[in-house]
Amino acid sequence: MKIKTFLFAAGASSLLFSCNNQETVEKKAEEHVHTHTVEDVHTYAKPEEAVVTHLNWDANVNFDTKTISATATWDIKTSEDAKQITFDIFDLNVSKVTVDGAEANFTVGDFDENMGSPLTIDISPEAKKVAITYTTGDNARALQWLDAEQTAGKKKPFLFTQSQAILARSWVPTQDGPGIRFTYDAKVKVPSDMIALMSADNPKERNETGEYTFKMPQPIPSYLLAMAVGDVQFKAISARTGVYAEESLLDTSVYEFSDLENMVQAAESLYGPYAWGQYDIIVLPPSFPFGGMENPRLTFATPTILAGDKSLVSLVAHELAHSWSGNLVTNATWDDFWLNEGFTVYFEHRIMEKVYGKDYSEMLASLTRQELIEAAHDMMETMPNDTKLKLDLKGRNPDDGVTSIPYNKGYFMLRLIEEKVGREKFDAFLKNYFETNKFSVMTTEQFLDYLEENLLTKEQMDELKLNEWIYETGIPDNLPVVKSNRFNVVDTARGQWLMTDILPMEELTENWTTHEWLHFINGLPRKMSTDKLAALDAEYGFTKSGNSEISAAWFQPTIRSNYEPVYGKVESFLISVGRRKFLTPTYKALIESDKKDMALDIYKKARPNYHAVSRETLDELMDYHQEK
Ligand code: BES
Ligand code: ZN
């Protein structure tokens, strides 16, 4: 069976899905056989009237004014009676629009703080190309313009984009829904001492002109549009993998990611060929708000994964896995976000198992499980509905849906299915799923249909309580159990130390990896005696650890127990790192342990370094209103 997306000839902003193969769009719309419509509430686009198919982007990146000036020329496909085409924009200053070369009327509709504004352009059904000339605004949320001091080299500024979920519209006028795909090419002009890179085929060297051209021949949704501009260099890891980083981080990065080719091969052996040609990683400056972002051909990564011992490379496995789950088979709307992230966490763990062995990957799964239980527990009090796998983000920022749930509850539901049918069957199913649905979109409901047609009986689905997993709050009682012998050892050692003050023997701990230490720290009481914390710190040096995950974990019991020796490190960490996953729990710990003043003092210093994405979350957490 093949599931395809069809655009239909009239109606609201929706996409029509069908479960059988038909030639024409109109036929589809008439037949209504096994079809249902899906509304994407986070785009103003009306693809059924006119939809984009290809982008030609001609841009100039200006570091003095911190703006991008560009013309986006879109190839479009229209319905028979199309009168307008609608784009999403966010704080873009549109100066001119042409349709097939002739100047055209356009209107910018009301601004919504999540959605931005609709840009509506008059067209006829014959229209083929729409060109929009514009400059980005001061509130371009996808863009972070960094001063030289915020980079490793401290000599040249830096720019990077973050388009997911609906921020692409703040740097390119686009039909900004995950269900709309297009190919692109681009010509980008940057200062001649910098290189420009995109989610496309990329230059390996800087040139003297500062002008770069790009081609992305595989269709992508606009949340995967990406660009980075800075003083970075490339080093190959294998024929098709490599890393871009500032010079001072390049060798470290090559070492850290030296298993990259092995990971790609592991992934391919599981679920079929890598579809995107080259796979590179760019190490961004520390203000990057995420751990990683799966921009096609060029994963964006935080430098906080450069631990020096490859201990945090599961993040690379995660972003690589998105080359299948997410980038090939894409969540139809942000309410179906778990289809991107849950599948990716599952796939990530499978890659890690293949490359580093099962006892290693089961430690990761165990950490995932603890995180899920804690997050679900907290969320049940504040936002229970967001503990459903299928989200309801209407009228909200899709960023609200980025919690542990789509990632880890999604992962465990897939693991539950694997445990039911056995790995062999599940792997064959998944491989087929990616192959059958590549370069198209998937809704939660379509996935359930697909599951029933290809893997499970209705009875089995009921037995596994899949409806409860997807449509109900909390964690079902059949959450798979993870057994990690390596963690059992840690639990015993920690328990003993808590009771007796006897630290685990060195023969035991000398072989512990970062994950065992994380488990050790995560299992400490949230509030405990500072003497005991000091004893640990003296022995294992957690406060001065250079491993970002260890630091963030260590901040929890120490901040909550008022362990003062950690405060200096907390401050320097919060000022230098912009990764939201670390910032939120650390600021939370300060607030919840009566140190709101300290949190605010640090935040005032650190905030200018943070990306808008992190700022928005933290402003709310801290109830912070910028002084004008
Ligand atoms: N695609 C996400 C990042 C994202 C999600 C950005 C939603 C904006 C909106 C990326 O693949 C991701 O999940 N990153 C994680 C990595 C981790 C789970 C290994 C992160 O940044 O922490
Ligand atoms: Zn992800």
Condensed to tens digits (0 to 9), the pLDDT of residues 366-388 reads 999 999 999 999 999 999 999 99
Count of Cβ atoms closer than 10 Å to residue 584 Cβ: 14
What are 69's strand-pairing partners? 60, 135
In this structure, are residues 375 and 309 in contact, taking their beta carbons and an 8 Å threshold? no
**Alpha carbon nearest to ligand 1 atom 8, residue:** 164
pLDDT of residue 18: 38
Closest ligand by atom to 304 CA: 1
pLDDT at 628 over 50: no
Q: 153, exposed or middle or buried, with CB in 10 Å at 0-12, 13-18, 19+? A: middle
pLDDT band at 33 (very low <50, low <70, confident <90, very high): very low
pLDDT at 16 over 60: no
Going across the sheet that includes 241-245, the strands are 233-238, 241-245, 279-283, 298-301, 292-293
Residue nearest to atom 1 of ligand 1 (CA): 293
Mean per-residue pLDDT, 449-465: 98
Q: Which ligand is nearest to the CA of 343?
A: 2
CA atoms within 13 A on the CB side of 148: 7
Q: How far is the CA of 300 from the centre of ligand 1 (A)?
A: 10
Tell me if residue 364 falls in helix, strand or coil: helix
Going by C-alpha positions, the residue among 220, 443, 250 that lies closest to residue 322 is 220
pLDDT digits (tens, 9 = 90+) for 559-569: 999 999 999 99
Q: Ligand 2 centre and the CA of 321: distance in Å?
A: 8
Q: Which ligand 1 atom minimizes the distance to the CA of 613?
A: 8
Whole-number Å distance, alpha carbon 485 to ligand 2 midpoint, is 27
Q: Which atom of ligand 1 is nearest to the CA of 294?
A: 11
Contact 496, 502 (CB under 8 A): yes
Q: Ligand 2: distance of its center to the CA of 344 in Å?
A: 6
Pocket test for ligand 1, best of 160, 161, 170, 290 (most atoms within 8 A of CB): 290
Distance CA 617, CA 461 (A): 37
Least distant ligand from the CA of 291: 1
pLDDT at 37: 66
Q: How far is the CA of 28 from the centre of ligand 2 (A)?
A: 33
Rounded to the nearest 5°, which phi and psi values hold at 216? -125, 95
The pLDDT of residue 28 is above 60: no
Average pLDDT of the residues in 505-530: 97
Q: What is the pLDDT of residues 241-293, one digit of tens each?
A: 999 999 999 999 999 999 999 999 999 999 999 999 999 999 999 999 999 99
Structure tokens at 214: 């790009």
**Ligand 1 atom closest to residue 340's alpha carbon, by position in its atom list:** 1
Q: Which of 224, 293, 324 to mutate to test the pocket of ligand 1 (most atoms within 8 A of CB)?
A: 293
**Residue 426: its pLDDT value, please?**
98
Residue 465 CB neighbour total at 10 angstroms: 15
**Which two structure tokens, joined as six digits, stand for 160?**
């990077």
The active-site residue, picked from 407, 411, 563, 603, is 407
Pocket perturbation via mutation, ligand 1, pick of 318, 343, 368, 581 by most ligand atoms within 8 A of CB: 318
pLDDT score of 15 more than 70: no
Under 8 Å between Cβ of 333 and 343: no
Cβ–Cβ under 8 Å, residues 389 and 444: yes
Provide the pLDDT confidence category of residue 627 given band limits of 50, 70 and 90: low
Query: Per the confidence metrics, is the pTM higher than 0.85?
Result: yes
Position 626 scores a pLDDT of 79
Token code pair at residue 351: 């890659």
pLDDT of residue 137: 98
Distance CA(141)–CA(136), nearest Å, equals 10
Mean pLDDT of 292-297: 98
211 is known as an active-site residue: no
Q: What is the pLDDT of residue 21?
A: 36
> Which residues on neighbouring strands pair with residue 71, listed in sequence order?
58, 133
Closest Cα to atom 15, ligand 1: which residue?
A: 291
CA gyration radius, the chain:
25
Residue with tokens 């790995």: 423
Give long-range contacts, CB 8 A cutoff, 24+ apart: 500-509: 501/532, 501/535, 503/535, 503/536, 503/539, 509/540
Checking if the pLDDT of 194 tops 90, the result is yes
Q: Mean of the pLDDT values across residues 49-69? A: 98
Residues at CB less than 6 angstroms from ligand 1: 164-165, 290-294, 315, 318-319, 322, 341, 402, 407, 581
Instruction: Provide the mean pLDDT of the chain.
Output: 94
What DSSP element (H or E) covers 292?
strand 292-293
Over 70: is that where the pLDDT of 29 sits? Answer: no
Q: Is-catalytic flag, 319?
A: yes
How far is it, in rounded angstroms, from Cα 58 to Cα 186?
6
Using one digit for the tens of pLDDT, what is the confidence trace for 576-603?
999 999 999 999 999 999 999 999 999 9
The catalytically annotated residue of 319, 348, 418, 516 is 319
CA distance 437 to 447: 10
Positive or negative: CA dihedral 209, 215, 221, 226? negative
Q: How many CB atoms are located within 10 Å of the residue 157 CB?
A: 19
Q: What is the pLDDT of residues 393-414, one digit of tens each?
A: 999 999 999 999 999 999 999 9
Report residues near ion ligand 2: CB below 5 Å: 341, 344
**CB-count exposure of residue 113 (10 Å: 0-12, 13-18, 19+):** exposed
Cα 340 to ligand 2 centroid, rounded to whole Å: 7
Residue 25 confidence (pLDDT): 36
- What's the pLDDT band for 38 if we cut at 50, 70, 90? confident
pLDDT for residue 336 is more than 70: yes
Ligand 2 centroid, distance to 317 Cα (angstroms): 10
Q: Kindly list the strands in the beta sheet with 143-146, ordered across the sheet, starting from the edge strand earlier in the chain.
A: 143-146, 158-161, 227-230, 195-198
CA 115/CA 108 separation, integer angstroms = 13
Q: Which residues of 589-612 are buried (b: 16+ CB within 10 A; e: fewer)?
A: bbbebebeebbbebbeebbebbbb
Using alpha carbons only, give the angle 515, 529, 526 rounded to the nearest 5 degrees.
50
Task: Give the closest residue (by CA) to ligand 1 atom 3.
Answer: 293
The C-alpha atoms of residue 233 and residue 246 are separated, in whole angstroms, by 6
Q: What is the pLDDT of residue 6?
A: 37
| Phi/psi at 326 (5° precision) | 125, -65
Å from CA of 11 to ligand 1 middle:
34
Which ligand is in closest contact with the Cα of 552?
1
Q: Which residues contact residue 568 at a Cβ distance below 8 angstroms, ignoring those fewer than 6 apart?
A: none
Q: Is the pLDDT of residue 512 over 50?
A: yes
